[in-house]
Amino acid sequence: MFKTAALFIARLTEVEKSAIRGALTADRLDWIYQVKHKNELASRKVFDEAKAELDATYAENSKSDQFGRTWAF
């Protein structure tokens, strides 16, 4: 069971990261949490922290002129 967002993010694939980051509504984000990650996380708070960290990392990486050449979000 993951107790920190950093450990949880380290275990995610790039596709899973993109799905979490791309969830446009609270309902979609809740569905992803309930169906896919609820059993592996200590709390919803860890999931929400991971979402915020993924969004921040994506925003920072997207500023690079090399952004379109990699899958690393």
Distance CA 11, CA 27 (A): 23
Query: If pLDDT is split at 50, 70 and 90, which confidence band does 70 have?
Result: low
Assign 3-state DSSP to the chain and report helix, strand, coil percentages, each to 5.
70, 5, 25
pLDDT above 70 coverage of the chain, percent = 89
pTM of the model: 0.83
The residue extents of the domains of the chain are 5-63
Average pLDDT, the chain: 89
